[in-house]
Amino acid sequence: MTMQILANPRRFRAHRLPVHGLPVRGFTLVELLAVLAIIGTLIGLLLPAVQRVRESGRQMQCSNNLKQMGLAIANYEEARKRFPPGNDQLGRRYHAWSSFILPFLDQSVVSDRIDYTKAWDDTGGNSTIADMTIPTYACPSGMKAFPGKQDYGGVLGAYINRDGDSLATINGRDLRHLSSGVLYATGDERYIPPRYDPGTIPPQQPRQSATAAQASDGLSKTLLVTEGVDREQVGAADTRRSGDSGWASGFNCFPLNSRVINIPDVDGFRSMHFGGLYGLFADGHVTFINERIDAPALIAISTKSGGETETAGL
């Protein structure tokens, strides 16, 4: 037998590598590269699909967050006959709409610890509570994380007209746009908020929050809350402690100040979703607002009683 194998090398190789009685043949380099190319192509096709599925899930969660806020605001309005103030400026307390609705959001454990007679960030205890995380207030598509984060803001109204010009008339003292939305700031007309020069707040500064009847444009056509994701800028003036990116802060409200949405450097009306953002309307429904929405329609839904009828792009 040994002499036969030595005389026939081919037979030796076949006998040396048997697998269930069959000879084994290895891959050539070309075949291996072809297999790797096929695997790479499959992975390239699979990853975007997985990302789309994940983003779809994140969008669903984001929409659900706003629906929960809508139910909480509706229950608040039913109990108080008014919507919550966007920013309680009276007495310089600056508590937010998102703080007032906590009991209706199954967060009574948090709200019971807040002293609403003191400022929202009072060091006697409110400051610590303001650093707590409220899961409903965090968009799952957000990229940043910091204490007390709020990725959704109350809509103050519209600060621009159809041409994109600012409505913030200072010398003429006409700042009625400050309450053109639903979740506007309320306070004492004798107190001037620090964001505005003394003497610019007109006598019509509302001391009470809005009612459903004041939304003459229709509740279903009036925005309450929209996305304003990842607003914190560490080291800048626009931090949670100075204002608008914490759920406990009354400055967690923003106006429409641009003719388009999802602009990175605009404070508010911004999401991490592709193609638009989610908005909660005063009747409780949540809609994905396409970033191609017409500017007149965007202005119309940002105000409660402007008399506009445009809805293009929704």
- 286, two tokens: 């949540």
Reading the chain (314 residues) residue by residue, the pLDDT tens digits are 444 544 554 544 444 445 455 555 666 777 777 778 888 877 777 666 556 657 778 899 999 999 999 999 999 999 999 999 998 887 778 899 999 999 999 999 999 999 999 999 898 889 999 999 999 999 999 988 888 999 999 998 888 777 666 665 544 544 556 678 999 888 754 444 445 454 544 444 577 899 999 999 999 999 999 999 988 765 555 555 555 688 999 888 888 888 889 887 777 899 999 899 999 999 999 999 999 898 889 989 998 988 776 666 66
Sign of CA dihedral 74, 78, 80, 81: positive
Q: Where do the domains of the chain lie?
A: 63-302
Question: In angstroms, rounded to a whole number, what is the distance separating the alpha carbons of residues 28 and 18?
Answer: 19
Number of Cβ within 10 Å of residue 130's Cβ equals 23
Task: Decide if 278 contacts 150 (C-beta within 8 A).
Answer: no
Task: Decide if 253 contacts 156 (C-beta within 8 A).
Answer: yes
Q: How far is CA 25 from the centre of its chain?
A: 58
Closest CA to 210 of 187, 238, 184: 184
173: region left, alpha or beta (phi > 0 left; psi from -120 to 50 alpha): left
Backbone angles phi, psi at 31, to 5 degrees: -65, -40
What single DSSP character describes residue 219? G
Q: Are strands 276-281 and 223-227 parallel, antiparallel or unpaired?
A: antiparallel
